[in-house]
Structure 1
Amino acid sequence: MFVTLLGPLALSCLPLSVLGVPEDKDARMYKVNITLPLKEGRDENADVLEIKTTVAGLSDMKVLFSFMVPGNSMVILVLRVDKACSWPQLTSFLARKGYAVKVTPVYYCSDFARELGINMTRDFYDTSLENDEDLLLGKEIFPVKGLTTAQYNEKLRQMFVRDISILNAGQPSASFRTLANLPVELIYFAPVTPTAIEAMAKTLHAPDNFEFEILRIQKLDTYTGGCK
């Protein structure tokens, strides 16, 4: 599900058949990209701080993560929506401000790994990334490229086996899969450390063919505005 500038309000009261039943919280997790378009006289710092304040006041919407992309006029949120009609708190604000918005349903990579037969608990990935201000956002896309379902699933299992070794070595990371069929897209948030850079290099030099993107991000709750 993708929402552009004209579409945020369409999310305001989606039926539970789309957003998930109350017991199925994972069916209602979303990654939200908020882009502040260029505009003469815009005070980007003030706008980001207003988003930060608005997000902090949301009810029936749990903010799992909130990030700022420095120099890119973009805020990234990962939300769990506990009530379908709680969306207007955020979407009406964003529509009024005229921001470009993209919403993507996601769920935990640990749950996806278990679907593939990998023994991974929900807390294997870090779910907080506490006290980490300097972070990376990594996005992996696994093209099908003529593979059979069995071959594709095995490719993904091997990736999770590598992930387990990296996480067991002490590298924290939060990870989500976008809720789509194919190709599989995984999103990672991890602190910028020598271990993280080494882990990224290990992933990028893996024998599998996949697309990989990296962005530098910082926690929105540590953002205070101003020039550095």
Structure 2
Amino acid sequence: MMRFVIGLIILSCLSLSVLSDADDRDALIYKVDIFLPPKEGRRETKDILRIRKTLKQLSGIRVLFSFKELGNPHVILILHVEKACTWSQMTRFLSRRGYEFSTKCLYHISDFARELGVNNTDDLWATSFDSELMVIDSVILPVKGLSTLEYNQMMKWILEKAITIVKSGQQMTCFRTLASYPVELFYIGPVSQSTVEKYDRYIHGPRHFLNEVTRIENLDDYAGVCQRD
């Protein structure tokens, strides 16, 4: 599984404090990781369902994707904040409930690819997932020893391979974090043995990648109960 997406993607981060005006699309998409620390009397399932319900009530914040990590009290959100002033709704809710959370500003992979001269369209990338068996893979490519031109050429190669996989029928989406190097990308998509084999053909890239794979399910599918066969 750790080889699953190793050859795919990349770009790193900007802090929440740099929220800019509503016209700056780069600063208005966020990955939010919410952790529910152990606490006496805490009911994990109830808290996660409360998060899911609250997301539907927020105004000016659109949920692009929402996931629950398998086996851990960890919710992962990709949010589009339509106006910077609406963000406080989210932070007030999380702080009031005593949840631990962190954020990263994101940029959609389709825009990144176009900047590098890689042909793609927005509708190429998934906007939702039906599969219950998915992963989110954080992929980082070390920058040491590379010029900017070499680094960009390597990223272009990686994105071209990712687009080839998508065009072959594999459903996926990806976001990069903003601003600094080394580049970090978050790949999101369903997982199966056939997709592992498909990615395997592309992992022998020009450099070694650092990646961390997290098994996830759609938050809307989470019920907090075991499913019997």
Same fold (TM over 0.5): yes
Partner residue of 1:174?
A: 173
The aligned amino acid for 2:58 is L
What per-residue deviation string (whole Å, max 9, x for no partner) do you get for residues 92-125 of structure 1? 1110111111110001011111111111112222
Asked whether the 8 Å contact 2:154–2:206 carries over to 1, the reply is: no
Q: Point out where structure 1 has 5 or more consecutive residues left out of the alignment.
A: 4-10
Partner residue of 2:70?
A: 70
Partner residue of 2:8?
A: none
Offset of residue 40 of structure 1: 3.1
Offset of residue 209 of structure 1: 1.4
* Distance in 1, Cα, partners of 2:21 & 2:45: 38
The reply on whether 1:95 has 2:119 as its aligned counterpart is: no
Partner residue of 1:6?
A: none
Partner residue of 2:58?
A: 58
For 1:142-161, what aligned pairs fall within 5 Å after superposition? 142-161=141-160
- The alignment partner of 1:181 has SS state of coil
Asked whether the 8 Å contact 1:25–1:81 carries over to 2, the reply is: no
In structure 2, relative to structure 1, the CA distance for the partners of 1:72 and 1:2 (3 Å cut) is farther
* Distance in 1, Cα, partners of 2:14 & 2:93: 18
* Distance in 1, Cα, partners of 2:201 & 2:40: 43
Offset of residue 168 of structure 1: 1.2
**Could you tell which deviates more after superposition, 207-216 or 190-199?**
190-199
**Could you tell which deviates more after superposition, 194-203 or 108-117?**
194-203
Offset of residue 2 of structure 1: 7.5
* Distance in 1, Cα, partners of 2:57 & 2:89: 9
Offset of residue 27 of structure 1: 2.6
User: Between Structure 1 and Structure 2, how many residues are aligned?
Assistant: 215
Offset of residue 225 of structure 1: 1.4
- The alignment partner of 2:38 has SS state of coil
Q: Point out where structure 2 has 5 or more consecutive residues left out of the alignment.
A: 1-12
Offset of residue 152 of structure 1: 0.5
What per-residue deviation string (whole Å, max 9, x for no partner) do you get for residues 6-35 of structure 1? xxxxx6xx7xxx434433334300000001
Asked whether the 8 Å contact 1:204–1:212 carries over to 2, the reply is: no
Asked whether the 8 Å contact 1:61–1:82 carries over to 2, the reply is: yes
Offset of residue 205 of structure 1: 3.7
- The alignment partner of 1:62 has SS state of strand
* Distance in 1, Cα, partners of 2:206 & 2:152: 15
* Distance in 2, Cα, partners of 1:177 & 1:32: 14
* Distance in 2, Cα, partners of 1:196 & 1:32: 27
The reply on whether 1:206 has 2:198 as its aligned counterpart is: no
**Could you tell which deviates more after superposition, 46-55 or 196-205?**
196-205
What per-residue deviation string (whole Å, max 9, x for no partner) do you get for residues 114-146 of structure 1? 1111111122221222x2221111111011011
The reply on whether 1:127 has 2:127 as its aligned counterpart is: yes
* Distance in 2, Cα, partners of 1:138 & 1:203: 15
Offset of residue 38 of structure 1: 1.6
What per-residue deviation string (whole Å, max 9, x for no partner) do you get for residues 128-183 of structure 1? 22x22211111110110110111101110110111121111110101000013100
Tell which has more relative contact order, 1 or 2 (C-alpha 8 A, sep 6+): 2
Asked whether the 8 Å contact 2:34–2:101 carries over to 1, the reply is: yes
- The alignment partner of 1:187 has SS state of strand
* Distance in 2, Cα, partners of 1:136 & 1:202: 19
In structure 2, relative to structure 1, the CA distance for the partners of 1:150 and 1:104 (3 Å cut) is same
Offset of residue 43 of structure 1: 1.0
Partner residue of 2:28?
A: 28
